[in-house]
Structure 1
Amino acid sequence: MEYLAKVLQAYQELLSPDNVVVDQKSISAAETATFATTQKVLAIIRPGNCAEVQECVCIANKYKVPIYPVSTGKNWGYGSKVPTQDGCVIMELSRLNRIVDYDEKLAYVTVEAGVTQGQLFEFLQKHQSNLMMSVTGSASDSSLVGNILERGIGKGPYGDRFANVCGFEVVLPTGELIHTGFDRFANAQAAKVNRWGIGPYLDGIFTQSNFGIVTQMTIWLIPQPQYFQSFFYSLQDDAAFEEFIDTLQNLKLQGLLRNSFVIFNDYRMLSTKQQYPWKDTNEKTPLPEDLMPNFRKAWGGGLWIGEGALYSASKEQGRIERKLIQRALKKTVNKIVFFDERKAKILEIIRPIYKLITGVDLRGIIDFFYNKNLQRGIPTDKVISMAYWRKREPVPSNMNPDRDRCGLIWLAPSVPFDGKHVRTALKIIEEIAIRYQFEPNIGLQCVTERSIDMTVAIVYDRDVPGEDERAIACHDEMMQKLILEGYIPYRLTTSAMNSLPTPKDDYGKLLQELKRALDPNNILAPGRYDFQQDWPDKFDFRKYYDHSVALASQTLRKSSEEIAQD
């Protein structure tokens, strides 16, 4: 395996030895996700700019050793930073962390692939900006670009994050560099503000694909409203569920609800507030339904708990919108609460007295409803604690679900924004989850007026023998049953890339031709969203490595030590 040492030496000469990682601890961490994985990683490389990314890609092509790009690698529940296939070198883009451009008036920011939610938030705060970003429930140090390329969902009016970006800088699998939209022209004045550019629109082929490495993109920001209100509501009557969903769809279609919002079921709500109540259940799982009424009291007794936000130009407009929403929802919800700056200030004033009398600090409530509300573009790490739901140990202050062997697998079917469709999908999810002894932990991501992206969390403890296997089996059966009903996932885990049904047309052939043209040596993230099982014939790539490469990891590390000694 002499060529492996040559690969390593080439990367070290380009990036410096500090940015070529081969030590066992780091490699083991990179091979660890929140569910069972077997893929072996050869090394980790950390380029510092776009030119170095291009050079790394050229080295990968020269030696036919594939690379697997990640931003910060916090793709928890979907595979973390573990490659889809064996024998890859992970390319971490966290050093590409520049905020390249920013315009307050036109409300955009251009960022590199390693810029995090927290970094952009602090940047806007420092510049006293009147703009905010769409944030996700992921960690504050998670990548913006990485989530957008997975077509992830955020909060606020720009919750469909991919619909509000443009101007990609992309390193192709051959090492060539392109800029999408108008950004490919020098001095194009609309490059940051026009999504489409001129000619074929290419941005989409670089999302959920292995066609290129996006090193930079422009993200559109949202003006802070003159009057902001958050609101929360609970549904107690299961018989009213379908009407409840249809009412929300109508409000969104009319434009009254302009933001992306989530509806939690009671199990999801509980898992974000505390860990599993082992004493109450006599150490048994899953959590019995007859215990849930006691826990539901904390949020008004709801089977479902919804959030929302109003971004109004004035208080007068906000009050009218609030009344319209209250009128529309009063037939189905049993409780609805609105929260604005004035209410937050009142609670802040009475907080010391309230704590003295009741022992309860209102700080958490004020932050949740207003001060640190995600709908205001403020990232938080709090939601990550859900991954520790079944762990026996307390949630650590520095959460890392991979390191702490939290079990978390996401399943994300997309369904029409229609009460009957949502009910059908829920029945499948709930029945299978309970049968495999997991709580049906469900969120309904209401992003557009016409579809809901459901997020099902299978949460467990990887330290319990047999749980990994049971969780994967639960995920796989649930996914297949949903697919049979026509509810295809909008996003996949790395273990589910080959689980979709056969397409009814020539889509696989098109992907095959694109991959052949853009990546003739198949060096970029092989197996990731390329659906090779759908291709009409075997893709005759030049042989660049075989299974022995994965088994040669130890040889590679040994060779790197010899090079370092030289």
Structure 2
Amino acid sequence: MITRRNFIRNSAVGAGLTLVAANGALAAGPDGAPLPPRVSRSAFDSALDALRAIVGPRNVFSDSDQLVGYNDHFAMKPPEEHAPSGAVAPTSVDQIQRVLAVAREHGIPVWTISTGRNLGYGGAAPRMPGTLVLDLKRMNRIIEVNEKHCYAIVEPGVSYTELYRHLRRTGSRLWIDCAAPGWGGVVGNLLDRGVGYTPMGEHFLQQQCGMQVVLSDGTVVDTGMGGQAGQAAMSVYRYGNGPWVDGLFTQSNLGVVTRMGVQLMPQPPGYRPYMVTFADEDAIQPITEVVRPLKLAQLIPNAATSTELVWEAAVEKRKDQYYTGEGALPDSARRAIMDDLDVGNWSFYGALYGTEEMMDATWEVLRDSFSTIRGARFFSEAEKGHTASWQYRAKLMRGEPNMTEFGTVAWIPNAAHVGFGPVVPVDGELALRQYTKVRQMSEEAGFDYFGEFIVGWRDMHHIYMPAFRRDRPEEKARLLELLDRLIDDATEDSFGVYRTHLDLMDKVASSYSWNDGALGRLNSRLKAAIDPSGILAPGKSGIWPSQFCEGDLPCG
């Protein structure tokens, strides 16, 4: 029998062969794209015809050359592991309802994307091969910007750059809070619980306010105050009456979000970024201890970052300028980078917002606090504003989207990166333990430590983003093994990973194992109740409907 594993190992998808597993689990059509599980070629062709009638022939994609953009371009595994069967790009809620009706009729799983640029976590690719991508990039309307109450209502296809440019073009005095790469989708990032860098940096907590969701049966739901017919307060008060359900649609496969209220920040009277560097490798411990009370007192108002040397360097330097050997940077190369860039092993970036008097008073407290750490050096825009790394951080902390972060993949040739993000309490000892362990394990596996700590409120996101070479299968396999071990290590310390790559979703989900996996079992019950057809994003966040947990299908 042709199993799923053998099918992938033999690269039948890439070869364009027509193979059907004995149970119909996975097959590839003559165009090279895999068919949805247990769906025949004729049935899928019939579904594609129905989709073309809904959205137009030019907005349905099924040939392998058309589907290149729906691959994971930073993949660690062979691309056929996450190859879609096709893609469909609607422009309205009505079209989405009709697309889902076709998917239900034919039993076709659907994977929703907004801009599809979640690189490092899977991009536009689905978790399960043969899934149809529901591409919402064409739903890119900025429905409303309310200057008085400081919010916008946007569709999923709106990127941070597009929203920012719209606000500037219309003379708005509102700021957005963006993810590091400006091409990311506002709605998609919020749903994945991404973080930013202004005082609105905890995205879902501080920005999301009301959403519209299409359920798998076609029902349209507006959440919170949007549940009232008038919807007058839906973007100013998120909760409404009764259970607050919005969180069910974050990192989940329970519905298709088609609209979201996004609360924005009024432009402050003044803005002043700053940077403090520290030479010691273990300085993350005292930095974290200093930051915690300042953050809780909101003297550090924004989601500030402690950035390690390699990340700081990769914004404007290449590794081969300092080291051409294999493995991680040696200490001599690290010292040379520190001298060239006039930085330490750690660079703390923060910003002040308000009147000049307010910022002056706050700065005195910050300066005195950080001065208690040995070797602290302070820099202002006048001293560092000409550097790429300063401009990158200063733009993010004022909500100006840019693409500088993706310059870091030029650190090594033909590079990609992947994200690993355990959440750590704002505690110096724990931060040092995480940093030391992850860096040691990373360098032992032959990778440079690419990391930073982003302070939320009482938590820090430890973002580890190693770069690897896309043309080296052995290196990709070694990185995947490293990430597997890092998840185990974080789990032992009870540091939960808050978002992850497609290849690691089942692994991360299994790490939330308290009480015999009660949380996962609850998620499965919700999935069965809200999406009984099981067609929405099988495998998202490790949540699988029952029909994809049989035979050779990939459940978990």
TM-score by length of 2: 0.87
Select which of 16, 21, 27 maps to 2:61: 21
Unaligned 5+ segments in structure 2 are 1-39
- Between the aligned partners of 2:549 and 2:330, the Cα distance in structure 1 is 53
The CA deviation string for residues 216-268 of structure 1, in whole angstroms up to 9 with x for no partner, is 10000101111110001101134544222110111101110111111110011
| Aligned-partner SS, 1:336 | strand
Unaligned 5+ segments in structure 1 are 349-361, 393-405, 533-538, 549-566
Higher RCO (CA < 8 A, seq sep 6+): 1
Alpha-carbon offset, residue 318 of structure 1: 1.0
| Aligned-partner SS, 1:69 | strand
Does structure 1 retain, via aligned residues, the 8 Å contact 2:454–2:462? yes
- Between the aligned partners of 1:415 and 1:248, the Cα distance in structure 2 is 14
Equivalences for 1:25-424 in 2 at 5 Å?
Answer: 25-37=65-77, 38-138=81-181, 140-163=182-205, 164-238=207-281, 240-277=283-320, 280-312=322-354, 314-332=355-373, 333-339=375-381, 343=382, 362=386, 367-368=391-392, 373-391=395-413, 406-424=415-433
CA distance 1:303–1:161, change in 2 (3 Å): same
Alpha-carbon offset, residue 155 of structure 1: 1.4
Alpha-carbon offset, residue 541 of structure 1: 3.7
Does structure 2 retain, via aligned residues, the 8 Å contact 1:407–1:468? no
- Between the aligned partners of 2:280 and 2:548, the Cα distance in structure 1 is 60
Select which of 495, 507, 511 maps to 1:501: 511
The aligned counterpart of 1:525 is 537
| Aligned-partner SS, 2:451 | strand
- Between the aligned partners of 1:235 and 1:71, the Cα distance in structure 2 is 39
Does structure 2 retain, via aligned residues, the 8 Å contact 1:521–1:541? no
Does structure 2 retain, via aligned residues, the 8 Å contact 1:209–1:530? no
The CA deviation string for residues 290-340 of structure 1, in whole angstroms up to 9 with x for no partner, is 21111012443411011001111x11111111111101111115211233x
Instruction: Name the amino acid aligned to 1:204.
Output: G
Comparing 450-459 with 502-511, which one deviates more in the overlay?
502-511
CA distance 1:33–1:290, change in 2 (3 Å): same
Comparing 123-132 with 27-36, which one deviates more in the overlay?
27-36
Would you say how many aligned residue pairs link Structure 1 and Structure 2?
505
- Between the aligned partners of 2:486 and 2:542, the Cα distance in structure 1 is 22
The aligned counterpart of 2:486 is 478
- Between the aligned partners of 2:546 and 2:396, the Cα distance in structure 1 is 48
Does structure 2 retain, via aligned residues, the 8 Å contact 1:155–1:375? yes
- The answer to whether the aligner puts 1:431 opposite 2:471 as a matched pair is no
Instruction: Name the amino acid aligned to 1:22.
Output: S
Instruction: Name the amino acid aligned to 2:369.
Output: A
When the two chains are superposed, the root-mean-square deviation of aligned CA atoms in Å is 2.2
Does structure 1 retain, via aligned residues, the 8 Å contact 2:316–2:388? no
Instruction: Name the amino acid aligned to 1:209.
Output: S
Alpha-carbon offset, residue 364 of structure 1: 5.0
Does structure 2 retain, via aligned residues, the 8 Å contact 1:293–1:301? no
The CA deviation string for residues 545-565 of structure 1, in whole angstroms up to 9 with x for no partner, is 9869xxxxxxxxxxxxxxxxx
Instruction: Name the amino acid aligned to 1:6.
Output: S
- Between the aligned partners of 2:447 and 2:391, the Cα distance in structure 1 is 30
CA distance 1:186–1:298, change in 2 (3 Å): farther
The aligned counterpart of 2:468 is 460
The CA deviation string for residues 41-89 of structure 1, in whole angstroms up to 9 with x for no partner, is 1101000111111111111111100110001111111111111112100
CA distance 1:415–1:3, change in 2 (3 Å): same
The percent of aligned pairs where both chains have the same amino acid is: 25
The CA deviation string for residues 475-520 of structure 1, in whole angstroms up to 9 with x for no partner, is 1111211211211101111111111325223323321221111111
- Between the aligned partners of 1:7 and 1:240, the Cα distance in structure 2 is 58
Does structure 1 retain, via aligned residues, the 8 Å contact 2:209–2:237? yes
| Aligned-partner SS, 1:25 | coil
- Between the aligned partners of 2:552 and 2:537, the Cα distance in structure 1 is 15
- Between the aligned partners of 2:304 and 2:45, the Cα distance in structure 1 is 50
Instruction: Name the amino acid aligned to 1:486.
Output: S
Instruction: Name the amino acid aligned to 2:478.
Output: R
Does structure 1 retain, via aligned residues, the 8 Å contact 2:277–2:377? yes
Does structure 2 retain, via aligned residues, the 8 Å contact 1:300–1:335? no
The aligned counterpart of 2:524 is 512
The aligned counterpart of 2:3 is none
The aligned counterpart of 1:556 is none
CA distance 1:460–1:302, change in 2 (3 Å): same
Does structure 1 retain, via aligned residues, the 8 Å contact 2:249–2:255? yes
- Between the aligned partners of 2:177 and 2:404, the Cα distance in structure 1 is 17
Alpha-carbon offset, residue 29 of structure 1: 3.6
Equivalences for 1:1-16 in 2 at 5 Å?
Answer: 1=40, 2-16=42-56
Instruction: Name the amino acid aligned to 2:213.
Output: V
Does structure 1 retain, via aligned residues, the 8 Å contact 2:174–2:264? yes
- Between the aligned partners of 1:447 and 1:23, the Cα distance in structure 2 is 44
- Between the aligned partners of 1:35 and 1:249, the Cα distance in structure 2 is 36
The aligned counterpart of 1:487 is 495
- Between the aligned partners of 1:103 and 1:416, the Cα distance in structure 2 is 36
CA distance 1:509–1:418, change in 2 (3 Å): same
Does structure 2 retain, via aligned residues, the 8 Å contact 1:425–1:487? no
Comparing 171-180 with 296-305, which one deviates more in the overlay?
296-305
- Between the aligned partners of 1:91 and 1:531, the Cα distance in structure 2 is 18
Does structure 1 retain, via aligned residues, the 8 Å contact 2:200–2:302? yes
CA distance 1:242–1:366, change in 2 (3 Å): closer
The aligned counterpart of 1:564 is none
CA distance 1:21–1:544, change in 2 (3 Å): farther
- Between the aligned partners of 1:284 and 1:435, the Cα distance in structure 2 is 12
- Between the aligned partners of 2:58 and 2:552, the Cα distance in structure 1 is 28
- Between the aligned partners of 2:250 and 2:66, the Cα distance in structure 1 is 27
Does structure 2 retain, via aligned residues, the 8 Å contact 1:169–1:177? yes
The CA deviation string for residues 434-474 of structure 1, in whole angstroms up to 9 with x for no partner, is 111000111101122x1101010121111134111111111
| Aligned-partner SS, 2:248 | helix
The CA deviation string for residues 124-151 of structure 1, in whole angstroms up to 9 with x for no partner, is 101111110001111x222110111000
CA distance 1:376–1:212, change in 2 (3 Å): same
Alpha-carbon offset, residue 104 of structure 1: 0.4
- Between the aligned partners of 1:288 and 1:366, the Cα distance in structure 2 is 25
- Between the aligned partners of 2:450 and 2:99, the Cα distance in structure 1 is 41
| Aligned-partner SS, 2:435 | helix
- Between the aligned partners of 1:530 and 1:461, the Cα distance in structure 2 is 27
